[in-house]
Chain A
């Protein structure tokens, strides 16, 4: 039996009437104690007996590859194999690709590509041998500069209406600016890792991956075997942020090597390899134009962008995704060009599209507010669309105004002096800035199973928890529906032997797999109600007791020693076409900019967000903190430098690529505006994992401008750039 649902329209609000009262609470993560005691096992842990160790070899430049000292390497102590196999992959698969990415390692398509695997009896021997490999690289090298090649237009992103040039010419206020953002990297703390072993024709891989049901097909396709013969295990994932969406080179190489050697093989990416062989966020060039009337109402907007990727990659950074629906303007010109170049592959990094697109657009909106002499919050309030500005369909809910108003109020926004360079403390200029946040909401197909016994419930799905709080919220959902406290619910994740969830990515894991768990538990409620002879809607389940009318019975008695199994299956439906669904928020930041050094310190930051029902207030808050802190990184420090001669990432480690550390982060405040979005499925909840990063960096950049008058359009706002502005 299974309870299936295609989300075609509005769902009733059932959750608020359920009795257990754990959904939405800031419950601690059920796996928390395992994580603080070191007992949670990640991919490269719990090694099988007789395990061998592999190390990938990276090509320092493009070209046809020869291993000139292969025989010597094989003879090194402890070395078991040197593998370069046509099934090995050029780079990680794109999210939801469901098939092999580009395969073959005879040619390095970009500097940094992994072209061989050395396997040895120990990690030290493998590392030594991998470092001793002498590679010959010859032949043509492809272009590496996105500005220097012919580009192709990405049709799906194009929207043209009216005449933007005319609107610009007749507008009371305009902005015409080019913003650039550098390549960025996900840099999860757990390196990509795989431990593979074979049992006959079946391969099992412990791996660090976000979307197992797709990854399983991707790996099977790479190896040329049936998906049924692939089992993936990712019970704990040490962060992903998009970099673990698709199967990546170490997992494919480990599986190939394990077959060849007949022994388990562990392959962990070196931190430097992580920058290159899994996907980066594309650098972008964004031409933004805004035209507004005397009241600050937008009459025209343009967002024309250039991004890059390797040839044959289906993904291109959807920079303008938020622009299509954020603001109304009759005259619109939105376009995207893709440069095919030979830098490492580009792919999804936390909030692909909006992370950089909303950030730059919100900085441009700040420029418009300045041009019009208008308060930036007021400017946004005057430009809230009644319906989707391009598709003409209604919004499922539109929460920009409440988040702007509550955020401004709590931050004390209106106390600010709108003048630039108005506050000084010693060497420091002090200023405040704000930005709106937008992120599309997506539901994805998911399945889950819930088994109910006298001892409690077990939730099962191959869904992953990449730090997002999946263990917590699925436990809460099942507990809420079945009337069980959290300690009577066990959630098992990250195993392709379990029903396929949605995977973690695109902020859709919670609402999608959560809905599948909801449906599975709902099926159980219906069966309990049947057993008691009442309607499910009249059933109350709380603390292991079932009540129908004036009859109360322990669940245990109803089950009578048996177990009940419910299966839930949710699919996206017509709701996608009928309404535009998004999450909203507002960011506020206060910064200090040093007049002597150009250094920026964020002094405080506040975010106010709406994303439908918040399933766990604590884990949702942490997600928002994460996004906001990534915004600080994007605004101030993060950026890959590509070698101008080879395209190679120069700063490919954590010493040179600066992610925010503790001292970079000021006190943060996060507030949620309560909302139920009936279009978002049975829980009326939307995704929250990425909203926090969308626009966060703009609040910081706009605060820098307010503080010291310097407008940074080439991210990040490092001291050299700010200082150059201060000296002008």
Chain B
């Protein structure tokens, strides 16, 4: 099937087997291997990308469902030069092996946006209002991204720093 994706600002035409997931379209067909495959089943978050600004698990979504969508991957988070969040991950050692990292970064980007828009989470005290960048909110909202190296202390510190500076 033919489809068009706008990936990191560039329009890409693709001719794909309908079974190809968005993740494999990015990794194999567009050679954007920054997005990672950890489970292919929506259980780890390594494949998180932003679709029209919202974070999703790209392994759980077929590419053909995204005709016309705007996709941002980890490669698109750096605008020529790594952004605040990416630098904060390096500074706080928010990774070890680095394999979950692109997913963590895309997820954190989407999460900070959700927070700014006032979306509540499971640990929020109220359903409406402003939710701060507390440890509990960050941990809860980032729990869809597993890091087996277990860099959660660094990940959270990096997100807090980048979020506060934004």
- Which residues of B sit under 8 angstroms from A358, Cβ to Cβ? none
Q: Nearest CB to that of B96 among chain A residues?
A: A467
Does B130 interact with chain A (Cβ within 8 Å)?
no
Q: Nearest CB to that of A627 among chain B residues?
A: B150
Name which of A236-244, A311-319, A451-459, A579-587 contacts chain B: A236-244
- Which residues of B sit under 8 angstroms from A41, Cβ to Cβ? 33
Given contacts A37-B74, A46-B33, A654-B43, contact A626 B151 (CB under 8 A): yes
Residue A662 contacts which of B86, B99, B102, B155 (CB distance < 8 angstroms)?
A: B155
Residue A190 contacts which of B17, B89, B97, B144 (CB distance < 8 angstroms)?
A: B97
Q: Assess whether B149 is in contact with A622, with CB atoms less than 8 Å apart.
A: yes
Please report the C-alpha to C-alpha distance between residue A618 and residue B153 in the assembled complex, in whole angstroms.
12
For A124, A187, A466, A659, the residue with the greatest tally of chain B CB atoms inside 10 Å of its CB is A124
Please report the C-alpha to C-alpha distance between residue A159 and residue B123 in the assembled complex, in whole angstroms.
52
Please report the C-alpha to C-alpha distance between residue A623 and residue B24 in the assembled complex, in whole angstroms.
31
Q: Assess whether A662 is in contact with B142, with CB atoms less than 8 Å apart.
A: yes
Does B64 interact with chain A (Cβ within 8 Å)?
no
- Which residues of A sit under 8 angstroms from B146, Cβ to Cβ? 189, 654, 659, 661
What are the interface flags for A592-626 relative to B under an 8 Å C-beta threshold, 1 for contact and 0 otherwise?
Answer: 00000000000000000000000000110111011
Does A60 interact with chain B (Cβ within 8 Å)?
no
Q: Assess whether B149 is in contact with A626, with CB atoms less than 8 Å apart.
A: yes
Please report the C-alpha to C-alpha distance between residue A125 and residue B27 in the assembled complex, in whole angstroms.
17
- Which residues of A sit under 8 angstroms from B153, Cβ to Cβ? 625, 665, 667-668
Residue B96 contacts which of A33, A626, A664 (CB distance < 8 angstroms)?
A: A626
What are the interface flags for A17-55 relative to B under an 8 Å C-beta threshold, 1 for contact and 0 otherwise?
Answer: 000000000001101111111111110111100000000
Does A468 interact with chain B (Cβ within 8 Å)?
yes
Does B112 interact with chain A (Cβ within 8 Å)?
no
Does B156 interact with chain A (Cβ within 8 Å)?
yes
For A31, A125, A187, the residue with the greatest tally of chain B CB atoms inside 10 Å of its CB is A187
A657 to chain B, nearest CB (A): 10
Q: Assess whether A124 is in contact with B19, with CB atoms less than 8 Å apart.
A: yes
Please report the C-alpha to C-alpha distance between residue A29 and residue B97 in the assembled complex, in whole angstroms.
11
Does B7 interact with chain A (Cβ within 8 Å)?
no
Given contacts A271-B38, A662-B139, A663-B140, contact A40 B98 (CB under 8 A): yes
What are the interface flags for B91-129 relative to A under an 8 Å C-beta threshold, 1 for contact and 0 otherwise?
Answer: 101011111111001000000000000000000000000
Q: Nearest CB to that of B76 among chain A residues?
A: A38
Q: Nearest CB to that of A468 among chain B residues?
A: B96
- Which residues of A sit under 8 angstroms from B156, Cβ to Cβ? 662
Given contacts A38-B75, A468-B96, A654-B43, contact A665 B152 (CB under 8 A): yes
- Which residues of B sit under 8 angstroms from A501, Cβ to Cβ? none
- Which residues of A sit under 8 angstroms from B150, Cβ to Cβ? 625-626, 628-630, 660, 665
What are the interface flags for B32-51 relative to A under an 8 Å C-beta threshold, 1 for contact and 0 otherwise?
Answer: 11111111110110100000
Please report the C-alpha to C-alpha distance between residue A236 and residue B96 in the assembled complex, in whole angstroms.
11
What are the interface flags for B140-166 relative to A under an 8 Å C-beta threshold, 1 for contact and 0 otherwise?
Answer: 101111111111111110000000000
Please report the C-alpha to C-alpha distance between residue A690 and residue B135 in the assembled complex, in whole angstroms.
27
Chain A interface helix/strand/loop/mixed: loop
Please report the C-alpha to C-alpha distance between residue A714 and residue B158 in the assembled complex, in whole angstroms.
37
Please report the C-alpha to C-alpha distance between residue A153 and residue B100 in the assembled complex, in whole angstroms.
41
- Which residues of A sit under 8 angstroms from B35, Cβ to Cβ? 38
Q: Assess whether B86 is in contact with A37, with CB atoms less than 8 Å apart.
A: yes
Please report the C-alpha to C-alpha distance between residue A667 and residue B134 in the assembled complex, in whole angstroms.
12
Number of residues on chain A facing chain B (CB within 8 A): 63
Q: Assess whether B155 is in contact with A28, with CB atoms less than 8 Å apart.
A: no
Q: Nearest CB to that of B85 among chain A residues?
A: A36
Q: Assess whether A38 is in contact with B33, with CB atoms less than 8 Å apart.
A: yes
- Which residues of A sit under 8 angstroms from B82, Cβ to Cβ? 33, 36-37
Please report the C-alpha to C-alpha distance between residue A622 and residue B92 in the assembled complex, in whole angstroms.
10
What are the interface flags for A647-658 relative to B under an 8 Å C-beta threshold, 1 for contact and 0 otherwise?
Answer: 000000111000
Does B78 interact with chain A (Cβ within 8 Å)?
yes
Please report the C-alpha to C-alpha distance between residue A271 and residue B98 in the assembled complex, in whole angstroms.
18
- Which residues of B sit under 8 angstroms from A468, Cβ to Cβ? 96
B85 to chain A, nearest CB (A): 8
Does B20 interact with chain A (Cβ within 8 Å)?
yes
Residue A467 contacts which of B73, B78, B97, B140 (CB distance < 8 angstroms)?
A: B97
- Which residues of B sit under 8 angstroms from A125, Cβ to Cβ? 17
Chain B interface helix/strand/loop/mixed: loop
Residue A654 contacts which of B39, B138, B155 (CB distance < 8 angstroms)?
A: B39
Please report the C-alpha to C-alpha distance between residue A32 and residue B151 in the assembled complex, in whole angstroms.
14
B83 to chain A, nearest CB (A): 9
Q: Nearest CB to that of A271 among chain B residues?
A: B39
For B89, B99, B102, B150, the residue with the greatest tally of chain A CB atoms inside 10 Å of its CB is B150
Q: Assess whether A653 is in contact with B41, with CB atoms less than 8 Å apart.
A: yes
Q: Assess whether A653 is in contact with B43, with CB atoms less than 8 Å apart.
A: yes
Please report the C-alpha to C-alpha distance between residue A32 and residue B28 in the assembled complex, in whole angstroms.
24
What are the interface flags for A167-205 relative to B under an 8 Å C-beta threshold, 1 for contact and 0 otherwise?
Answer: 000000000000000000011111100000000000000
Does A122 interact with chain B (Cβ within 8 Å)?
yes
Does A395 interact with chain B (Cβ within 8 Å)?
no
Does B90 interact with chain A (Cβ within 8 Å)?
yes
Q: Assess whether B93 is in contact with A36, with CB atoms less than 8 Å apart.
A: no
Does A469 interact with chain B (Cβ within 8 Å)?
yes
Q: Assess whether B95 is in contact with A655, with CB atoms less than 8 Å apart.
A: no
Does A107 interact with chain B (Cβ within 8 Å)?
no
A523 to chain B, nearest CB (A): 31
Please report the C-alpha to C-alpha distance between residue A661 and residue B104 in the assembled complex, in whole angstroms.
12
Q: Assess whether A37 is in contact with B75, with CB atoms less than 8 Å apart.
A: yes
Residue A122 contacts which of B17, B74, B78, B151 (CB distance < 8 angstroms)?
A: B17
Please report the C-alpha to C-alpha distance between residue A468 and residue B151 in the assembled complex, in whole angstroms.
12
A27 to chain B, nearest CB (A): 10
Given contacts A36-B105, A659-B146, A663-B140, contact A189 B90 (CB under 8 A): no
- Which residues of A sit under 8 angstroms from B77, Cβ to Cβ? 37
Please report the C-alpha to C-alpha distance between residue A158 and residue B149 in the assembled complex, in whole angstroms.
34
Q: Assess whether B24 is in contact with A190, with CB atoms less than 8 Å apart.
A: no
Please report the C-alpha to C-alpha distance between residue A268 and residue B27 in the assembled complex, in whole angstroms.
13
Q: Assess whether B17 is in contact with A238, with CB atoms less than 8 Å apart.
A: no
Q: Assess whether A190 is in contact with B143, with CB atoms less than 8 Å apart.
A: no
- Which residues of A sit under 8 angstroms from B75, Cβ to Cβ? 37-39
Does A270 interact with chain B (Cβ within 8 Å)?
yes
Please report the C-alpha to C-alpha distance between residue A304 and residue B156 in the assembled complex, in whole angstroms.
42
Please report the C-alpha to C-alpha distance between residue A268 and residue B140 in the assembled complex, in whole angstroms.
31
For A45, A128, A236, the residue with the greatest tally of chain B CB atoms inside 10 Å of its CB is A45
- Which residues of A sit under 8 angstroms from B138, Cβ to Cβ? 662
Residue B99 contacts which of A238, A268, A618, A659 (CB distance < 8 angstroms)?
A: A238
- Which residues of A sit under 8 angstroms from B27, Cβ to Cβ? 45
Does A413 interact with chain B (Cβ within 8 Å)?
no
Q: Assess whether A29 is in contact with B143, with CB atoms less than 8 Å apart.
A: no
- Which residues of A sit under 8 angstroms from B143, Cβ to Cβ? 661-664
Please report the C-alpha to C-alpha distance between residue A46 and residue B27 in the assembled complex, in whole angstroms.
10
B67 to chain A, nearest CB (A): 18
B140 to chain A, nearest CB (A): 5
B153 to chain A, nearest CB (A): 5
Please report the C-alpha to C-alpha distance between residue A122 and residue B32 in the assembled complex, in whole angstroms.
17
Given contacts A271-B43, A654-B43, contact A618 B93 (CB under 8 A): yes
Q: Assess whether A35 is in contact with B95, with CB atoms less than 8 Å apart.
A: yes
A210 to chain B, nearest CB (A): 11
- Which residues of A sit under 8 angstroms from B95, Cβ to Cβ? 32, 35-36, 467
- Which residues of B sit under 8 angstroms from A626, Cβ to Cβ? 96, 149-151
Given contacts A37-B82, A38-B32, A38-B34, contact A238 B43 (CB under 8 A): no
The 7 closest A-B pairs by CB, nearest first: A38-B34, A238-B99, A467-B97, A467-B96, A35-B98, A629-B150, A32-B90
* 6 A-B residue pairs with CB within 8 Å: A36-B74, A37-B77, A38-B34, A619-B96, A654-B41, A668-B153
Interface residues of B (CB under 8 A from A): 17, 19-20, 24, 27-28, 32-41, 43-44, 46, 73-75, 77-78, 82, 86-87, 89-91, 93, 95-102, 105, 135, 138-140, 142-156
Q: A36-B90, A662-B140 are in contact. List 12 more A-B contacts (CB 8 A).
A: A35-B95, A38-B74, A39-B75, A123-B24, A188-B97, A189-B148, A191-B37, A271-B39, A622-B151, A625-B154, A654-B44, A665-B139
